[in-house]
Amino acid sequence: MSATVRYIRKRAFSPVVTGSLLYILTRGPESLRRPLVNILSSPANVERAKSVLKWLFALGLLGRLNSWLNSWAENGWQLYGDKKRWNWNKEIAVITGGSNGIGAGVVKGLAAKGIKCVVLDVEDLPKNMQNYANINFYKCDITSPSAVSEVASEIRSKIGNPTILVNNAGIGTSHTILLTEPEYLERLFSINVFAHYNTLQAFLPSMISANKGHVVTVASLSSFVPPVGLVHYASTKAAVMSLHEGLTSELRHLYNAPNVKTSIVHPTYARTRLLEGFEKEVKENKGVVIDPKLISDAIVRQILSGRGARVVVPQGMSLAKAIRGMPSWMQERLRDSLAPHTQSAKDMLLKR
């Protein structure tokens, strides 16, 4: 979607814009009203414009109300955030998979705000991230509970208790269900799902004790619709979506820690190394591929807001959140439309 189209779409559903135009056309001073009437050129067009603006104004208000209610619910029914409790120069963020891709972007973004960042990864930091005074690196296999526990103890003793946890690390390549090797499947779930439990069990208790923290789960749009050839990957992202929702409930109802915020991010395909294994299939199916910086920037913004949220990147695909509430026939039609239709795309998957 072009920048122009996005701009027009955003303004068309802005109650401020549509309400102002409607007021000018109906009750505004002649000096403002006359230029608009001249542009519309006829009384019939003026009436049509009024009708369209009324609908856009109403839809815009409903959209704003829905967003406000979502934010209210996602933050433990708290009207206001606790942003004042955050002192970014004193906060500590743990980011898994922070040596490249989306994770590296998150690390750089948080570090630029003065946050102490701790990267857990099996891959060393790239040279351009090794000279930051507030970026620390620990080589750690996050699929090992004992390795995570050991590193967590070292982090607490040398740096302090983390207040932000970004579970970002993930892997994925395209396979059909029948061609997915058991060993690969086990590794996939270990990194994409079980590692979340390891880091939560290591870092969440101190957040609960302080009733302050933010856990960010990096999921995918495939949490809502499993693409053909990526069912295994989508299954892990659906799993961490359930984990995110359950974590939010447990923090609120079992641990009485409503100020430990939880956010989940559902990006579309990003131009990272993870995509390299199945980029041909994505392009063949005309999938949307975006710059990973858009995703990392969205994560950083959400953390700095001091609020929890369910974030879709790009924002223009936010309707994906409603898919699971659609009637079955609509869901099936959507899945059919996203399936590979060309023989070459099918062959790519069947030969993997």
| 269 is a catalytic site residue | no
287-294: list long-range contacts, CB under 8 Å, 24+ apart. Answer: 287/227, 288/314, 288/317, 290/314, 292/101, 292/102, 292/105, 293/105, 294/267, 294/270
Q: Are 294 and 314 in contact (CB under 8 A)?
A: yes
Give residues with Cβ within 8 angstroms of 210, minimum separation 6: 161, 163
Q: Are 33 and 20 in contact (CB under 8 A)?
A: no
What is the rounded distance in angstroms from the CA atom of residue 167 to the CA atom of residue 196? 6
- How many CA atoms lie within 13 Å of 174's alpha carbon, on the beta-carbon side? 23
Q: Are 165 and 216 in contact (CB under 8 A)?
A: yes
Q: Which of 233, 269, 286, 321 is catalytic?
A: 233
Token pair for residue 76? 């433990």
Q: Which of 108, 116, 212, 237 is catalytic?
A: 237
Q: Are 134 and 114 in contact (CB under 8 A)?
A: yes
CA distances from 272 to 68, 176, 289, 340 (A): 33, 21, 10, 22
- b/e map of 65-83 (b: 16 or more CB within 10 Å)? eeeeeebeebbbebeebee
Bond prior to 314 in cis (omega within 30° of 0): yes
Helices (H) and strands (E) in the chain, counts: 13, 9
Token pair for residue 8? 């027009």
DSSP state of 194: I
- Write out the DSSP string of 286-306: T--EE-HHHHHHHHHHHHHHT
What is the rounded distance in angstroms from the CA atom of residue 141 to the CA atom of residue 218? 18
| 50 is a catalytic site residue | no
What is the rounded distance in angstroms from the CA atom of residue 164 to the CA atom of residue 210? 12
Catalytic residues, which ones? Answer: 233, 237
